[in-house]
Amino acid sequence: MSKIEKVSTFIENSRKEMVELQRLLCSVPALAPENGGDGEEEKAAVLKKWLQKNGFNDIQEIFIPDERVKSRRRPNLIATIPGETEGRVIWIMSHLDIVPPGEFSLWKNDPYTVVEENGRIYGRGVEDNQQGMVASIFAALSMMKNGIKPKSTVKLLFVADEETASDFGIKYLIREHDLFGPDDWFLIPDGGREDGTMLEVAEKNLLWVKFHTKGEQCHASMPELGNNAFTAASALVLGLNGLKDRFPQQNQIFDPPSSTFMPTKKEANVPNINTIPGDDVFYMDMRILPSVGAGTVLQEIDKICSTIAKTYGVQIDYDVIQRVESESTAEDALLVKAMQKVVKDVYGVNARPVGIGGGTVGAFLRNEGMDTVVWAKLDESAHMPNEYCILDNLVGDAKVMAHLVLEY
């Protein structure tokens, strides 16, 4: 048998063990403090113990201080599998944290107890991101148990804090630790399509903005005594809606191909019907093509706010809540070509590089000049009630990862 045949057979015969690792990880919720949890410490300890028991001898722990959790720290783990050659390291990065289950009444079973049914594994976190996590572990295990070395050194990186802001995960690791080399590759199995054809290589620039309109409160029966902040804010929403016409550029690598400018959250203003509000607050979510740039959009926002403020006699302030601008991985990068080959080998489909409107941790790596692909074969049940992972996808993704590190 060839090396690829040996590892593929091992992975195929490890279905039961994959389910059991999913069961173990699911039983230890890892929620960020922002989501009412105590971080990832317990889950990381359980994972480390399992890895050591199964032959992973080179495990590095990097703890990041966080006074909000009981342990006062957030864990990040790196498991290293030495390769035949030095130089490039292939990193496969998954995240330890999960999101809350939401309404328990919408779940058919306890969200923290894995249920296997009809080829699916149900439970909070089993797809996001334990499918990628378990797949990477068994890809590595398939080589270790067969005495096979990957071509390049492989590092499995299990990070904290992906579901909130990554301040205690990859952002900190990039800023404070010299872990990554300029020739390293990154595979992030945390996004994809149900047919496995999406190789995410680019993201739109993310801009979240909070708008505050300040007028003058008064009784609704005497509007001339005040200045309705809600009316002005409504006009501002309509004015900002014109951003889509101001920036009509398209790039077909993205879906949708144009920038998007969406009003979303609206804060309460006054508690009663017969008062004209003097303050009004709303938010916008903007996903902007890299060719346009967040700075250019903000300049246009300044003009719109100034016009509305003068027209309605109000004061308008805004705060940028989040701004993430991302470089892209070249569509013809060797990593992209390699992923296209191994996905074709395992799943028999033609994967293509695409850009997305959502944000991933890949943006932080690309901004450091790292070739990064976000890929997995997913049904995208993440964050939903009755989240599930398809077992065949878990097995197939492990084979893709094994093929990648054996060949490159």
Catalytic residues: 97, 162
Buried b (16+ CB within 10 A) or exposed e, 152-165: bbbbbbbbbbbbbe
Which residue type occupies 120? Answer: R
Using alpha carbons, select from 94, 199, 77 the residue that is nearest to residue 136: 94
Kindly state the tokens that stand for 397: 């993704």
Write a three-state SS string for the chain: CCHHHHHHHHHHCCHHHHHHHHHHHHCCCCCCHHHCCCCCHHHHHHHHHHHHHCCCCCEEEEEEECCCCCCCEEEEEEEEECCCEEEEEEEEEEECCCCCCCCHHHCCCCCCCCEEECCEEECCCCCCCHHHHHHHHHHHHHHHCCCCCCCEEEEEEEECCCCCCCCCCHHHHHHHCCCCCCCCEEEECCCCECCCCEEEEEECEEEEEEEEEECECEECCCHHHCECHHHHHHHHHHHHHCHHHHCCCECCCEECCECEEEEEEECCCCCCCCEECCEEEEEEEEEECCCCCHHHHHHHHHHHHHHHHHHHCCEEEEEEEEEECCCCCCCCCHHHHHHHHHHHHHHCCCCEEEEECCCCCHHHHHCCCCEEEECCECCCCCCCCCCEEEHHHHHHHHHHHHHHHHHC
Are the CB atoms for 258 and 249 separated by under 8 Å? yes
Report the C-alpha gap between 147 and 150 in whole angstroms. 10
